[in-house]
Structures are given as C-alpha cells and as structure tokens.
Structure 1
C-alpha cells in the first residue's frame, strides 16, 4: 500500500456507541404514535436510515400516515435524539479508541470522520475529540449513503490525500464495503464472520494499535 497518509473513522460503533440514544428516541416516538416497541424490534432499525426506520415502525404498528406526517415524525425523532445526545460525555468514548486516535495524530497522520449521522459534529464536540480529527464529513454533505464510497472519498478529498493511501475504520458491513469501494485499506471492529471484506478485523477498539496497523500495511 505504501506510506499511509490518512485514517478515516466512522462514528457510531467505532468512536462511541449512540445506538442506545437512537433506541430511546425511536421508543419515545413510537410511544407518541401509540405503537408498542421494544429492544428486540429495535435491532431491525440498526444501520437503517431515518425514513426507512419510521416505515418499519408504522408497518409494525399497522399505522398509515401521509407523506407530510411522515416528514413531521421523522423530524420529531431527530429532535428527541438531539435531546438525548446532550447527555453524551467523554465517558461515552469506546475504550481504547482515544489512545488509538492520539497515536495516529502524534505520528503526523491526517484524520477524518465519515459519519452517516447529521448530528456527528455536536456528538464529537461533546466527546471532546475534535482536536484529533482534521475534517468531518456527515450525511448532510453526501448524496449517497454507505455502502456507496462517496463519504470516504469526500473525506480523502477534504484532506487532499489519494484514497489509495487511506485507511478506513468501520464496525458495519456496509461501511467496510464503502471503504473497499473507495480503494482504501479497511479495518473492521466486530466479528470477522460479518465483516468479511475487511483487511484487518479486531473485536474491540482496545485491540487497535498504530504499530500493528503499520506492520500489516507493510506486509
């Protein structure tokens, strides 16, 4: 691969886990709509966009809404979510990830965030990791969601780095597919059985190290 010039991180499941906040926001919205929703149903919403998640909840509750009402409730869910994420602190950083980010920055390597969330900027502000990220690309800046490579390519472009010299870090299969489609080296956090296209898979961020990443890239 040659000399690595940038590392591009996903947010949710890599730097922090906001899944609980999304669940609470959807649960509150389902309550507003009089639709029963529990944690097992919420598994169906992970990695799914806001509009599509709302459709699944409406179908689950056998409820019909107009397009205008759907827009209203999708926005309302986001308002609930923004209220919940105000409680995020640096304690919500996933163990090991801050140390890894610090190692990368201390090595003079550029970094970016590539997040499907439109709330990525306030989240990283509250996590107090802004200084470890040179640029942030969120859903508001791209046309296509993962597994399309657009968000990772945009991150590389904003850093003025060739994608071939970038590493992407993801916890979802669609994210890993996006990294590979961008022509980057893919680090997966999670199960190797799921993240089959990743070049290097660790079970959790505590297993990440800059030295090990460099060693693997030089192999």
Structure 2
C-alpha cells in the first residue's frame, strides 16, 4: 500500500511545477500564444531524460500536436509552431489566425527522469458576430430610448416657433422704421413746399 502511495506521489506530486497560460477567449483570426513553463520542476536541466509534448483535446479527439525529444522539436499539425526555449524551461507554442477548429483543451506534459508533470489551458475561439451579440457587446441596431423621441419633438416645435416669432418681430421693427422714414419724408416735402410758396409771395410783392 505504501508503495502505491509513493508511486502516486512520484507521478502527480509535482503537478504544480508546470505553469501554463490561463484560459483564453479570443476572436477568430487572432494569433494565440500558449505558454508552458517548467523551470521550477526538479531536474528540468536533465536534457537527456527530458521529453515534452503538447496534446490537443476535444470532445471527439485527442492528439499530439507538438513534441520534443532527443533535442529535437517536431510539429505534427499544420499551423502549430514551437515558440520557446527548452534550455530555459520554456515549451511554448504559437497558433496564428486561429479558427473554430482550434477550440479545445491544450495539455502540456513533461517526462523528467521517469516522472510526469503536466498542466493544461482552455482556448475558446468565437466569431466577431457572437461577441457583439453577447452581454455588454456592441449592438449596431440598437434604438434610442423612447424618452429621447418625446423630448426631441417639443424641442423641435419650440425651435420652429421661436424662429417664427423672431421673424415677425423683425418684420414689425422694419415696418416701424419704414413708417417713420415715410413720415420724415412727408414732413420734409411739406416744409419744402411751404418755403416755395413763401418765396413766390415775396417775389410777387416786390414787383408791385
């Protein structure tokens, strides 16, 4: 029994020494970088016994997409690239322009001196349309609130009414100015005529 317990501890006891990226939710077409750091694992510099692999898991399939062994890194799936440095404890991968086919769980697993260490991360790829329709997303066809329409109608009527009244006031002022000007012209004309009549009378008086 103690041997079994020791074996379980040996295989899974250092589970926390492998650090992977947190779960990610991205839009389709985004470039994704998934990290796997194992520099805290005991014996990680033993490159002779070190082997590592990335495993891709979905509901329907499980397959190795990239592995490292005998100082060589091999990708088994197009569009998956090694992006790390094993000598520094980094076994990252790079996924350019992800699609919905990249949805799933990515498991990073190491084998060091007969012991296994692993950790995983979940990747969710969604379309831009799904993101806009999600809560808090952008709704391009959203209508303005009903109260805005009620406020805008009286405001428009008030604006039109103010313009009409201002126009009438300007016309009234202009008419008043015209009337005043006409009165001045009449007075001036009458004064001129009176002066003419007076001049004629004086002239006729001198002749007699």
Q: TM-score range by the shorter chain?
A: under 0.3
More strand by share: 2
TM-score (norm 2): 0.23
TM-score (norm 1): 0.22
